[in-house]
Amino acid sequence: MRLAIRARTAGLTAADVDSAMTADRSLLITWLNRGTLHLVTAEDYWWLQPLTTPPLQAAISRRLAQEAVSADDADKAVGVIDAALAAEGPLTRAQLGRAIGSAGIRTEGQALVHLLARASVRGLIIRGPMVGREHAFARVSDWLGAPPARFSPGRYDRDVALAELTRRYLAGHAPAGERDLAKWAGLPLRDARRGLNAIAADIRPRADGLAELATSPTGRSCGPGRIRDLPPPRLLGSFDPLLHGWVDRQPVLGSATGIVTVNGLFRPFALVGGSAVATWTLAAGEVALTPFAPLPEPVAAALRADAQDIVRFLG
């Protein structure tokens, strides 16, 4: 997630991201769209959490049953997590695992991560500060305080949140269709359609049936058929959000689908002209690039420079 920020900003460091989570409390990580961990602003948490997490609860319960954790034990574990964080403040995954295990609840295999996810999707905890080199969990009420008035019980407007999610999605992913939005958001297709209908006045019609905003986030007209400027050659980290934005990854990965995405893992890759051209690894402070085909020297030079920026960013 730090590398995703690096690729989309200039001059920041990984320590800046950690500080935003730990000192400023302006960023946090929790399970949201698709049941995946997401880095979001604390401000956006309040509307994203109730919008995107309800579909996750049944899947988490099902996985806990597969891990031999009963519903009663799962609820008991959530209570243990809440009590431990209330008494001691932010705790790491391992520390919470010991507390849950001490209560006689199974934590082996994937049980622990799904117990933490259960408490998260219920809106009780988030991954907040860094404790040394580890990310710690914290109670939402302790770390973020009370929700803004407009998100308090009885005042939250799901349709407003769905419209905002749709607008944000199109700002970053247009042109896209309703199925792209549904897959990215982890919401039913009917919700994607509802969101698109809610902002229909802001959408420019397209002959291909896809949706795009009539104006950019800066307020400038997008123009019919306008192709946005592609980023310069850039090294993207593993699980980069670019690969999770649409139903089909082929426009980015081409024939390299089986190279970049392997058994559910998303490898770091180089993006040039909007397409994947290489994978890369980092070891002992050195970035090693593995191109799919020979790269023109200007492109190779740009990627070498970006590799140095990764080293700088990570410190």
Residue 139's DSSP bridge partners are 125
228 pLDDT exceeds 90? no
Question: Are residues 39 and 142 located together in one domain of the fold?
Answer: yes
Give residue 301's domain range. 234-314
Residue 8 inside a domain? The answer is yes
C-alpha separations of 21 from 43, 144, 258 in Å: 13, 11, 34
Per-residue pLDDT tens for 10-21?
Answer: 999 999 999 999
Of 219 and 248, more confident: 248
Question: Are residues 166 and 113 located together in one domain of the fold?
Answer: no
Per-residue pLDDT tens for 147-187?
Answer: 988 888 788 999 999 999 999 999 999 999 999 999 999 99
Instruction: Say how many domains are in the chain.
Output: 3
Question: Are residues 8 and 114 located together in one domain of the fold?
Answer: yes
Question: Are residues 15 and 142 located together in one domain of the fold?
Answer: yes
| Stretch 274-302: mean pLDDT | 96
Per-residue pLDDT tens for 65-97?
Answer: 999 999 999 999 999 999 999 999 999 999 999
The pLDDT of residue 227 is 53
CATH classification at residue 182: 1.10.10
Q: How far apart are the first and last CA of the chain?
A: 16
Residue 71 inside a domain? The answer is yes
User: DSSP state, 8?
Assistant: T
Q: How far apart are CA 19 and CA 89, in angstroms?
A: 18
Contact between residue 271 and residue 252 where contact means Cβ atoms under 8 Å apart: yes
| Stretch 235-262: mean pLDDT | 94
Q: Which of 58, 29, 55 is nearest to 41 (CA)?
A: 29
Question: Are residues 293 and 185 located together in one domain of the fold?
Answer: no
Question: Are residues 79 and 207 located together in one domain of the fold?
Answer: no
Residue 54 inside a domain? The answer is yes
End-of-domain residue from the set 98, 128, 151: 151
Q: What type of residue sits at position 70?
A: S
The pLDDT of residue 220 is 52
The pLDDT of residue 189 is 97
Question: Are residues 36 and 145 located together in one domain of the fold?
Answer: yes
